[in-house]
Structure 1
């Protein structure tokens, strides 16, 4: 009876989901057609990003119910277009709880430098201002802040939080066997230890410390403060929140003005302003001449094709192959820039992507532009290039490999589950969650780990021209700041995306060119369909909330990436 009831409910809900999806798709299409905003002369462009801001959005005109998700690429293109747009008088920066990579902030800073060359003013105004909001606001000529006592700035510095699960696993009877090659490859340490190993901690502190010094330098330079004064603000101030009065005293802001007073002072009104999301860049009729393809690859490296819907999605060989086919079909493309922002993932998928990029390199010069993180598998695929340029905030390296094998024998005893395997073959049933792994099986995997690690080092050594001793010294799972990576020859140059594009054009020996972005944006509906969100929503309707041993194993397998070789960072940097 209960099963029949579930089927009836499912039959009723499924058509409803289809109707809602159709309405959403139709509304989004209608908005795309009619939403272009008329811009009055002498208007202000309002740079007001909020929430997650990815490098690139693979969704075309993803605006629905008056909401649009921008990207760093989209914002930079609009800022550059506004510099020569006679309708735009100046710019107002007003971010809110911005989540963006530090390399993304660098890209916006480069676009802002071009905008300011136009002579148009740039002002910033805010009330509750967080660190990345503030870094964006420091690009303004002047910063204004709400004078209220409840208006505050939060500057934290740099932090990487690593959560350790070993004691929790001990309590529930789960042990994680971490098989790794690379003494500093710390991705498995949260599951097997209660704190980082001293060598791993020292390596992370060095890389994160470099990023901290860059933040201090940038705030000091843009606000005309000494680095020592900025460091004192970050480390010596009494209170977590910096009040508006303190912010003015410290030199973090120029004046205290409410939003209304600020807008009245500069003639900013609803009719005389346009939000960055509503500002449409005029496209050239038909691009002619040579092209440099700019390929955006962001997110974890894993099988399958998941489009980015304004957030970092995933990178797969399937996705890269589709992009390469599109590039080869465009006969105007003469060079390729690959913008990589990834902490890695599947070792096998990294190798498959590497092979595809090496194949592309046979036809075109390939230049890599590194985003906030291009480490582990992210560095693996970066090495398949003619030249590597990293943003100064980039964290890279992490050349090493791990696999984690969960041992749930103790958990099985606690919940009354015990497996008896009837096996034929030496390693049959070796990955059984509720049985203790055989030592010979673990030794075998450790030998495999060495082989996978050797392949990683060989790929890098071959492309970057290292000796065995040289690659071993910079590998071992160590992460590096961009400056240290350049010293160690892991990268060729420190710079932004425009530098990479110029280098690619130079290698292709072309001077008059345009850029074209890949993957080509798709519709919102196609993005939802390809992301698998639809099928996951439907399958979740069928699940019964009773935990079986199979469901426990499935939960552990999806919570921790197990039973697979990984080129992966231990934590998310940006």
Structure 2
């Protein structure tokens, strides 16, 4: 649906055209016509909609080559808003035009409206005027626009149409023309027109020439140096002009970045991109006031730096980095791609965990504080068993379980690890160990033997020992890192942040075609309908993307330990419907298991990372009840009952914590019914996986049973399709959408980011790794797990064990 402003501008233009066709041809205009201003200022206010950065332009027209000033203009613009001053005439008849404009652009259409007023000795011949216009750019080869202007002090009107053609679809050659007709022209064929050409043989170097209907000709050159540009044009007036036939137009641009030969063809890689990873790394971050690093921004900066010819390397300040294993490996993969472009990576460390060793393997030079250390004791996955504690406290716990490996309730009903749980934990802990060791060995920094020695050396390995084993190259403090960079680069270097990268600042006018739109949905957190991942809202987001014909494909990023069956199916059904309409690709993060797999399985293609933990196809359930805790707290309950099992959901409310436990355990009949429902949901899960993945049900049963698989194992069993990062999945979804190589891509993301993050009071008091936002709270793993299991007491769940959530999320958390 078009916005009211869009409809208003279009209606205004239509009314202007209709009014122009009926205007008296002898009427005085009351404003400066387009033919007299085209060399100094654009007429169409819709041009304001294309402004991307604050910009200032100064232009002066002089007599001859270096004569006295005839006219001048000053234009200041920010995205969507513009203000210009045009001064013309001699002292006794000087006129100053003031114009305010506003514009907004969409994918192929920009519209704008402007208001003009006049000041000065000669302003009596002019009055206020209103203009509106639009520009349409539907392809790389053509751009068309129209501007209508009407005098508010009289009956003067003007309409201007313009057309630009790029035969090659690039700025190399642009052919331009315009036609202006106002109320002083005798008929439709007596308007003023001009035709011209612009050639841009090198980025930012532009040659232009034009011929006007009055016989005037012009030729000019413009050279951009990035955020400053200058131009010169010489004009030869037509035979009807009574003034000096020769004039010059000098121009200066300041502010907005323009492509330039100095940052492309003549660029020298003398800059290092500086990235900071001082702590936990989230998936997306929040909208405002968020200084913490997130994966998507880091990856985008690394990708853009590889394309920036002025950047020779990256300095990664990871002084307290806690990215988590999976995110560290993804970050290292992109650093290696950056190095493959012939550039270097310098890593700085102070204190770090084992996940930072992935970054070490992807760095050309590791620079470490001499008093720093890396905590590398190895990998350990344990479980705290609460059965004895709960029994002693007077809380009963029962488990509903059919699958061998679905161990989510073991922590509540056992006092030691089951054989099946020990088997699967040994598998993925071994995979994490082997993965890190192989990455370091392949990087050439260490041998398998020395890696084992360092693991067994001490829990924290000091910097000097790491240097002895080749994991660190030099020691020093970060303020001295420039000395290291200059030594590596062999000369003077400067550091820049992501905001200074050339690809991030280059204007998009080199391609007129509307970008292809790809939807990206972030499914992060526990799979719950109205909290955690909030699948009810996510389903609506996905539904909107399916119904939006401009979105050509959808990528879903899944990072989740699972949750409720209802919430899982709410989102999975929308994934399935969307996949029937357009390509849907899933990119799994470090953990996408149980309910996290349920919401993924209907995608056309599933990407898992090498360290992804997925699968856990199974259903668990349990029942907590009051088995004496109320008596020990001297609590008494009484009530009235209708229904045989009504008292199951009534019991004593524990003071302070607000926890209400059922007053009794399950009867045999009730227990059998819960078990039957759990089995039915499990069979349904199996059948859905078989259908979604085109597998035999018996085969699915063999690889299900609640078993957790690593990414490569899941690929072997047919649960995922490819091993790759989020970027690999994004490249695949663009290809699946049929986007032509070289066409720009716009990512339409959802859900909306939280506004900003504020500290949780518990974090200030107890140092807990938690944060919350105005729209979403992200509690720690234990709080989340207990909240879900107790709130859904007796209901079947599709979740991984709590300890796996805690082990995986340590240092990264399920955060946006």
What are the equivalent positions in structure 2 for 1:68-467 lying under 5 Å apart?
Answer: 68-147=291-370, 150-234=371-455, 236-237=456-457, 239-267=458-486, 272-275=494-497, 281-282=504-505, 285=508, 288-304=514-530, 314-328=532-546, 330-432=548-650, 433-439=661-667, 440-467=669-696
Q: Against the structure 1 CA distance between its residues 83 and 157, is the aligned structure 2 distance closer, same or farther, given a 3 Å change threshold?
A: same
Contact 1:96 1:133 survives alignment (8 Å): no
Are 2:749 and 1:518 aligned?
yes
Aligned to 1:551: none
Q: Tell me how large the CA RMSD over aligned residues is.
A: 3.3
1:506 CA displacement: 3.8
Residues 344 and 470 from structure 1, CA distance in 2 versus in 1: closer, same or farther, beyond 3 angstroms? same
Alignment partners' CA distance in 1, 2:498 and 2:472: 23
Q: Contact conserved, 1:409 with 1:434, CA < 8 A, in 2?
A: no
Higher relative contact order, structure no. (Cα contacts within 8 Å, ≥ 6 residues apart): 1
Matched, 1:531 2:531: no
Q: Look up the SS of the partner of 2:576 in the other structure.
A: helix
Q: In structure 1, how many angstroms separate the alpha carbons of the residues matched to 2:325 and 2:470?
A: 22
Alignment of 1:488-499 (within 5 A): 488-499=717-728
Higher-helix-fraction structure: 1
SS at match of 1:109: helix
Bigger mean CA deviation after superposition, 352-361 or 415-424: 415-424
Quickly say closer, same or farther: Cα 1:491–1:558, change in 2 above 3 A: closer
Higher strand share: 2
Q: How far off is 1:322 after superposition? A: 3.1
Among 695, 699, 708, which residue is 1:479 paired with?
A: 708
Paired with 2:321 and 2:348, the residues of 1 have a C-alpha distance of 15
- CA 1:247–1:106 in 2, change beyond 3 Å: closer, same or farther? closer
Contact 2:562 2:594 in 1 (8 A): yes
Change (3 A) 1:555 1:143: closer
What TM-score do you get using the length of structure 2 for normalisation?
0.57
Q: Distance in 1 between matches of 2:625 and 2:276?
A: 48
8 Å contact from structure 1 (residues 399, 475) kept in 2: yes
C-alpha distance in 1 between matches for 2:791 and 2:450: 44
Q: Give distance in 2, aligned partners of 1:112 and 1:137.
A: 10
User: Hey, what's the Cα distance between the residues in 2 that align with 1:258 and 1:100?
Assistant: 22
After superposition, the Cα gap between the structure-2 partners of 1:556 and 1:410, relative to the gap in structure 1 and judged at 3 Å, is farther
Contact 2:587–2:608 (CA<8 Å) still a contact in 1? yes
Structure 1 runs of 4+ aligned residues shifted over 6 Å read: 38-41, 277-280
Aligned pairs (5 A) from 1:555-574: 560-563=790-793, 564-570=795-801, 571-572=804-805, 573-574=808-809
Q: By how many angstroms is 1:274 displaced?
A: 3.6
- Tell me whether 1:53 sits opposite 2:276 in the alignment: no
Contact 1:431 1:437 in 2 (8 A): no
* In 2, Cα distance between equivalents of 1:361 and 1:555: 31
Change (3 A) 1:158 1:459: same
Q: What is the TM-score normalised by the length of structure 1?
A: 0.80
Q: Cα distance 1:276–1:159, how it changes in 2: closer, same or farther (>3 A)?
A: farther
Alignment correspondent of 1:16? none
Q: Distance in 1 between matches of 2:378 and 2:471?
A: 15
**Larger gyration radius, structure 1 or structure 2:** 2
Alignment correspondent of 1:546: none
Aligned mates of 1:465, 1:558 — CA distance in 2: 32
Determine the C-alpha separation between the residues in 2 that align with 1:73 and 1:134: 20
CA distance in 2 between partners of 1:438 and 1:560 (Å): 16
- What are the within-5 Å matches in structure 2 for residues 28-43 of structure 1? 42-43=270-271
Report the CA distance shift for 1:484/1:407 in structure 2 as closer, same or farther (over 3 A): same
| Maintained 8 Å contact 1:406/1:562 | no
- Give the total of aligned pairs: 505
Alignment check: 8 A CA contact 2:517 2:748 kept: no
Task: After TM superposition, give the deviation of residue 559 of structure 1 in Å.
Answer: 7.7
Quick one: structure 1 residues 325 and 464, their matched pair in 2 at CA, closer, same or farther if it must change by over 3 Å?
A: closer
Instruction: Indicate how the Cα distance of structure 1 residues 429 and 523 shifts in structure 2: closer, same or farther if over 3 A, else same.
Output: closer
